[in-house]
Amino acid sequence: MQNIENSPNTDMDAEVSSVLEYARRAELILVIGNKNYSSWSMRPWVVLVAFDIPFKEIRILLDQPDTTSRIAEYSLAGRVPVLIDGDLTVWDSLAICEYLAEQYADKKLWPHNVAARASARSICAEMHGSFNALRAAMPMDIRSRHPGEGRTPHAQADIGRITEIWEECLSKYGHHQFLFGEFSIADAYFAPVVMRFHSYDVVLAPALQAYMERVIAHPAVARWILEAKAEIESLPDHQ
């Protein structure tokens, strides 16, 4: 993986043109936000790294005066992450993960078993469209610790539902390893939740705590955490 840091001092038109030309003749490009805060960026990034899919990374700082215009150079949706594969642009983290699963079918990004794969897709879709109270009350902030904060009733309800998902998947498919046995898109999709639970000291049952520790120790997740901690930007109230 190679990194490109978008800088205010860079000739943006020339850089974007260069990046898109690179995409047309070489590897994938993933446009992301700050690693400390951007939970949506974390998901496909972890998938790419975990499954050893080569890509170039472009990090655009969030919540800056020119953030929207910079992201618009790659996607009119105005959000990260964005995946560029030649002339094709894919935005939205779940769409990117599905695209990668199709393009790299031999790497088995989803569980092989049909029932397990259906369940994995279902919980990722639920994660994608739900748990807004948890996101609002406990924004991802890997570098900081906020023990006891964010325990609103709605956030607690979200925590309860997530623990139900983890317990069911680990007992039915995971054999108490990852959610579906081997590390998959599903684990990458819940990795930002693991980060939140860790930062806010959410206490779980021993089996779920052990699952969190396995996710944190996974090489792809551990690398994201290391790089997030190396960042220096501070963005208050980012989800």
Structural domain boundaries of the chain?
A: 2-107, 114-225
Task: Categorize the per-residue pLDDT at 15 as very low, low, confident or very high, splitting at 50, 70 and 90.
Answer: low
**Across 158-167, average pLDDT:** 98
Supply the pLDDT for residue 11. 56
As a whole number, mean pLDDT of residues 1-20 equals 56
Report the amino acid identity of residue 32. I
Residue 9 — pLDDT band, cuts 50, 70, 90? very low
Q: Which of 108, 74, 106, 103 is nearest to 89 (CA)?
A: 74
Nearest to 127 by CA among 89, 166, 100: 166
pLDDT value for 97: 98
**CATH fold of the domain at 2-107:** Glutaredoxin (3.40.30)
Would you say how long the chain is, in residues? 239
pLDDT of residue 21: 52
For domain 114-225, give the CATH number: 1.20.1050.10
Better pLDDT: 24 or 48: 48
Give the Cα separation of 71 and 148 in Å (integer). 35
What are the pLDDT digits (tens) for 78-113?
A: 999 999 999 999 999 999 999 999 999 999 999 999
